[in-house]
Amino acid sequence: MPHEITVDDLIALVRTYNPKTNEDKLRRAFDYGARMHEGQFRHSGEAYFTHPVSVAAILAEQQLDDATIITALLHDTIEDTASTYSEVAELFGNDIAELVDGVTKLTNLQLSSSETKQAENFRKLFFAMSKDLRVILVKLADRLHNMRTIKSMRPEKQVQKARETMDIYAPLAGRMGMQWMREELEDLSFSVLNPEARNSIMRRFLTLQKETGDVVQQIKDDICTVLEKVSIEASVVGRAKKPFSIWRKMQEKDQGFSRLSDIYGFRVITENECDVYRVLGAIHQRWRAVPGRFKDYISQPKSNGYRSLHTTVSGRDGKRVEVQIRTRQMHDVAEAGVAAHWSYRDGVRAENPFAVDPAKWIKGLTERLDSAEDHDEFLEHVKLEMYSDQVFCFTPKGEVVKLPRGATPLDFAYAIHTRIGDSCVGAKIDGIRVPLWTRIRNGQSVIILTAEGQRPQATWIDIAVTGRAKSAIRRSLREEDRGRFIKLGRELARVAFERVGKKATDKALQTGAKALDLPNMDDLLARLGCAELMAHEVVEALYPELILTCGDEIEPAHAIVGIEQGQGFDLAPCCQPIPGERIVGITYRGRGLIVHAIDCPVLMEFEEEGARWVDLHWHAGTHPAAHGVTLRLTISNDAGVLGRICTLIGEQKANIADLKFVDRKPDFYRLLIDVDLRDSEHLHRVMMALEADTDVAEIERYRDVARKP
């Protein structure tokens, strides 16, 4: 059982770097949090409040300000206890209440959910970051402690949390410059997701240590000897790289452990910047530098403030050794990243010239994301931004262009100007003509060859890496395809309008464009045709009264029998139950009742929890066409096929709520269509009508278990 951190322990930890800390406020926050969480326990059986205290301690180790420490102590109070925003504001001030509320909202985001929802939640994540980055610092520390204690969770929950951490939180920590946290989060996730691989690497290390002795200490002594000879004062720290870092390198290079050489990393921390370059010279004089492995992040700092020299040399017995060289102030930023802005020393905020302004950092990160025009593009932007390691290349005039690793000349062209990208016909790297798919390496000079009349090609989407380039290419292709999209949009509008007994006249479409704040009718039709806008949205904007159910049809709120009066319910997105199917309800704490189809695979999770099952059935009357079902179709890529499919669905008096292409090939399209239906019989008729069409190769009802409640 780990040592339980007391309020005195926490205050003592904060006082080591901030003697002027508001001790009384810290004690009040500690006592308030303990009182609010009294009687709550973690999966491990420990008192729940040990978790917020441990999160506060992690942030105190990063020498953060009082507000961040207090937020950590209270970060679960608004969500999990009787505490309220107004009460926290009254006791500890509006700033802390805002921070606690921000962390609460982040906790409720399902970042590993379906792609569309994930993209929207990432928008919320970055919005929270832009308001106050300390919200993310608390969330990262919260996730780190949860990962350190993950073994007390159920196995399937461990895998879900580990995957989310590996995909989202670890890269985010790295993007913020907190490399130590990224490595620990990755390794903790690795131990859950692939324990056999991690144990194998640990065993190899032990075997290697028995065979060669403590290589880290030997190489450290060698470096210290070299520095003594040239009279440079510096501290040297060495370590074996983390198991996940080694595993990733093995995968990337397709090599076994025994063939990997640079599995050790060393840091040399000097007193001033001049000594940094002197250390580099001394190390390169003593050992042979490995070509292509030198990086100068001092003259070209990363956007999160990271500065350091990186070199790899062939050290003792020919082993490759990676060495990072930097000053003490650079090291502080390298450890804390963007969080260095809030670091305290001796009771005052540390003045570190290398600490990046969080407001500028987040603005630079988000301004590219704001331009994303759809969910997929936004998600692509985010993942590129979080995972990217940068390369620096040069224009013919010597100006530096920063691009993510793996970028191509097309990315370079669009980084300079959209006009240059659109008219690109070729590229030269270091004076040699190269294909557009060539990967640019650090330090290379790039020249873009252009020609009037050149237009972006569809294949460029797969060549480009950056969101900016992909977005510009898509925009240009969309303009070229505008005529085709307008024609398809008109057909979609006709079907949707006829369904409510109206005609899609030019006058009606112009009015619809105006109601939806679009420039004109053609723009509306083009958006309909490329599925950026749904036809039912246009109808609803013009005829909202026709969308409402009427007559003898059963209102959706009263469609299910067996629900207690006043009790709310939601239909499970994973199985999309519709009238005519057998159903069952599952109670969720804080969310009421979720209705599942009886054959939903998600129900297996509740086999041992019979108390949560509620027997339900659909009302026997007539239901409106308001129950969503997703169909997956494979159709021929021929003119008019998609329009005919939409017409067939409309003829069955069913409404297309959404349409998304999941695969486009020269000879076929695969797409998902969300259709609003009355019941299972209605579904059967729609599927039969579509299956009978000669251009429909395959049709099935699509259920996404990953969208479970």
pLDDT in tens, 291-305: 877 888 888 887 777
Q: In what order do the strands lie in the sheet with 655-664?
A: 655-664, 668-677, 627-636, 696-702
Name residue, tokens 């969720």. Answer: 588
Structure tokens at 172: 């985010």
pLDDT over threshold 60, residue 254: no
Q: Are 43 and 107 in contact (CB under 8 A)?
A: no
* Cα separation values, 554 from 549, 550, 614, 626, 629, Å: 8, 8, 21, 11, 19
**pLDDT at 544 (0 to 100):** 66
Cα angle 580, 697, 376; round to 5: 80
pLDDT over threshold 60, residue 118: no
Torsion sign, CA atoms 37, 41, 43, 45:
positive
pLDDT over threshold 80, residue 22: yes
Which of 332-336, 436-440, 612-616 holds the top average pLDDT? 436-440
pLDDT over threshold 90, residue 413: yes
345/14 Cα distance (integer angstroms): 10
pLDDT over threshold 60, residue 275: yes
**pLDDT at 426 (0 to 100):** 92
Structure tokens at 12: 């003592």
- E strand or H helix that includes residue 266: strand 264-270
Question: Which of 76-80, 355-359, 582-586, 634-638 is predicted least confidently?
Answer: 355-359
Structure tokens at 73: 């102590």
Three-state secondary structure call for residue 672: strand
Catalytic residue among 23, 79, 674, 679: 79
pLDDT tens per residue, range 30-49: 999 999 998 888 888 888 89
474/490 Cα distance (integer angstroms): 22
**pLDDT at 512 (0 to 100):** 87
pLDDT tens per residue, range 79-116: 888 888 889 999 999 889 888 888 887 766 655 554 54
pLDDT tens per residue, range 647-664: 888 888 888 988 888 888
Torsion sign, CA atoms 268, 400, 467, 359:
positive
Beta-carbon contacts of 160 under 8 Å, excluding residues fewer than 6 positions away, are 112
pLDDT over threshold 90, residue 324: yes
Whole-number average pLDDT of the chain: 81
Which of 55-59, 202-206, 257-261, 641-645 holds the top average pLDDT? 55-59
**652 or 50, which is more confident:** 50
Local confidence band at 1 (pLDDT 50, 70, 90 cut-offs): very low
pLDDT tens per residue, range 616-631: 888 766 788 888 999 9
**204 or 577, which is more confident:** 577
* Span 500-525, average pLDDT: 86
Helices and strands per DSSP (H, E), number in the chain: 30, 22
Three-state secondary structure call for residue 97: helix
Question: Which of 181-185, 402-406, 525-529 is predicted least confidently?
Answer: 402-406
pLDDT tens per residue, range 422-455: 999 999 998 889 889 899 887 788 999 998 888 8
* Span 369-398, average pLDDT: 60
* Span 412-418, average pLDDT: 90
pLDDT over threshold 60, residue 387: no
Catalytic residue among 23, 46, 80, 537: 80
**pLDDT at 550 (0 to 100):** 38
**pLDDT at 117 (0 to 100):** 53
**pLDDT at 119 (0 to 100):** 55
pLDDT tens per residue, range 669-689: 889 999 999 888 889 888 888
**pLDDT at 101 (0 to 100):** 85
Q: What are phi and psi of 633, to 5 degrees?
A: -120, 145
388/481 Cα distance (integer angstroms): 32
- Spatial CA neighbour of 646 closest among 661, 637, 632, 656: 656
Q: Are 388 and 466 in contact (CB under 8 A)?
A: no
pLDDT tens per residue, range 543-560: 765 554 434 567 777 788
Residue 658 annotated to the active site: no
658/646 Cα distance (integer angstroms): 11
Structure tokens at 628: 């969503």
**pLDDT at 427 (0 to 100):** 92
pLDDT tens per residue, range 629-650: 999 999 888 888 888 888 888 8
pLDDT tens per residue, range 133-164: 788 889 899 999 999 999 888 888 898 888 88
Structure tokens at 96: 């802390």
Q: What are phi and psi of 284, to 5 degrees?
A: -70, -25
Query: Quick count: other Cβ atoms within 10 Å of Cβ 13?
Result: 19
Residue 608 annotated to the active site: no
Query: Quick count: other Cβ atoms within 10 Å of Cβ 283?
Result: 23
Q: Which amino acid is residue 13, in one-letter code? A: L
Q: What are phi and psi of 352, to 5 degrees?
A: -110, 115
- Spatial CA neighbour of 173 closest among 162, 161, 185, 163: 185
Which of 235-249, 263-277, 390-404, 639-653 holds the top average pLDDT? 263-277
**232 or 349, which is more confident:** 232
Q: What is the DSSP string of 391-448?
A: EEEE-TT--EEEEETT--HHHHHHHH-HHHHHTEEEEEETTEEE-TTPPP-TT-BEEE
pLDDT over threshold 50, residue 312: yes
111/140 Cα distance (integer angstroms): 14
**pLDDT at 551 (0 to 100):** 43
Structural domains in the chain plus CATH codes: 7-193 (1.10.3210.10), 196-349 (3.30.460.10), 388-479 (3.10.20.30), 481-547 (no CATH), 557-709 (3.30.70.260)
**pLDDT at 111 (0 to 100):** 54
Local confidence band at 123 (pLDDT 50, 70, 90 cut-offs): low
pLDDT over threshold 60, residue 257: no
